[in-house]
Chains A and B, each alone.
Chain A
Amino acid sequence: MKVSEAMIRDVSTIFEDETIEDFIVFCLRQNKSGLPVVDEEFRVVGFLSESDVIKSALPSYFSLLQSASFIPDTHQFVIRLGKIKDDRVSQHMVKPPVLIKPDDTVIYAADLLIKNGLKIMPVVDDEGKLMGIVNRIYLIHAATQGKIDR
């Protein structure tokens, strides 16, 4: 089975110079956890997820800790979030993004999602322009239907 058969043909996206606040509003309204980031040519230049925003709003030493209970003051998180809300998306996105093409196999897409710990992955054409996305639940559904090995 190819990615083209399992992808969601939706090109909801955020531009690299739009703000973190724009991203939060977009995700809230569309019930999404992340969005592909594109340039003016519609090429996917990054990916921003809610996890990336949380990471940016946490103290830098947080990644060394095993538990959020070590953070002395959660209020710090809220203050830092307020500070980054007007930042450009490009300052906090993951780049280069992990991408897949419509002719790739679904099993390869699943492999990339698992190895990179992703929930969503942009699907692009040969010029790197956004065509849609694949997400975990669609691939899980394809697997349960026995379609993933075809």
Chain B
Amino acid sequence: MNVLTVTLNPALDREIVVENFKINEFHRVKNPSYSVMDPGGKGINVSVILSGLGVRNVAMGFLGGNIGKVVEERMRLISDLITTGFVHVEEETRENIAIVDPLGDTITEINSSGPLVKPDDLRMFLRRFEVALSRVRHVVISGSIPRGVENDICRTLCKKVTDTGKLAFAEGTGPAFEMAVEAGVITVARPDLRSRKLIFGESLVDLNDYVRAAKKIIEKGAKLAILSYAIEGDVIATQDGVWLFKTRAHIDRSHLLGTGDAFMAGVVHSMIENEKDCFLAAKRGMSAAVAEAEYISKELISTKDIDEHIDSFDVRELE
């Protein structure tokens, strides 16, 4: 087993494609394939994409109720490279609904909050996490924090990872993620800027703001910082410099679903092969994201897709 992914607040992703979607109107889904259910949550998405890249991994976190069982069962159906090891809680796992309108070029997303995690559930998870950690080298901790779990959880988990000399890949938002960045326990940090362009209390407006935030993440101890910039760009920082990656072709907003998780999976996949080269990892991450963006739904990309898209974006050195 190479990789452990942690999704503390998984979801059943329901993606519905509706052409010319408008609020307050009745819509009918034209094609059954335009209404799909997938296991979701950022860590789970990374697990699924990694399985497509041939990487055996174990997915952990919290699931609950019948929706939780559906998520678990579907993950195992996707690939036998995925092993599940979730702690099951009393309340039901959440659903994330995405309404994709390819004609209007919009994605409307509604994410519910998810189940309450009680202290006993967390205690059981932490024990299982530590045992699982001894069997892997790369750990992805990604997504939102469920109710009942303190904001220091991301820092606690990443510290356990890096204290044992292993690599922690984290994506998140708000105080939980920033606390872990400040503690210098994340190896690869990717702030989730989808809902608000804000980090360390500062709004990200122009490119300089993104560069400053990326450099701060590196100063705190991360080896690689990735900040999504506009739709088609990413600001990348390592200890050697700061770059802007920008796709050559236009990407529709409706094709963005899963691209962030593909980016992270591409980085992890690259660092399994070459742990030291963070810039190469970022390039292969970007390539994976561009490859994923060719699909309207979440699809399994291959290593061949990554290789083929490695020159599909421009790299500009900023500092």
Contacts and interface: CB of A to CB of B under 8 A. Distances in A.
Interface of A: 4, 8-13, 15, 18, 22, 26, 29-31, 38, 40-42, 129, 131-132
- The secondary structure that dominates the B interface is mixed
Interface in B139-184: none
B235 interface: no
Interface string B117-135: 0000000100110011011
B83 A132 contact: yes
B59 to A, nearest CB: 10
For chain B, the bracket of interface size reads 20 to 34
Interface stretch (B85-93, B106-114, B202-210): B85-93
B131 A40 contact: yes
Contacts of A40: 131
Interface of B: 58, 64, 69, 72, 76, 80, 82-86, 88-90, 124, 127-128, 131-132, 134-135
Given A31-B69, A42-B131, A42-B135, A11 B88 contact: no
Contact of B88 (A26, A129, A131): A26
Contacts of A41: 131, 134
Contacts, number: 45
Contacts of B128: 13
A18 B131 CA distance: 15
B80 A9 contact: yes
Contacts of B64: 29
A132 B81 CA distance: 12
Nearest to B66: A31
25 contacts: A4-B80, A9-B80, A9-B82, A9-B84, A10-B72, A10-B83, A10-B84, A10-B85, A11-B85, A11-B132, A12-B86, A13-B85, A13-B128, A15-B127, A22-B124, A26-B88, A29-B64, A29-B88, A29-B89, A30-B69, A31-B69, A40-B131, A42-B134, A42-B135, A129-B135
A102 to B, nearest CB: 10
A129 B58 CA distance: 14
A126 B88 CA distance: 28
B131 A9 contact: no
Given A26-B88, A29-B88, A132-B83, A10 B131 contact: no
A123 B58 CA distance: 15
Contacts of B132: 11, 42
B196 to A, nearest CB: 34
A132 B128 CA distance: 15
Contacts of A8: 76
Max count, chain B CB within 10 A of own CB: residue among A9, A22, A131: A9
B71 to A, nearest CB: 12
A12 B62 CA distance: 12
A30 B93 CA distance: 13
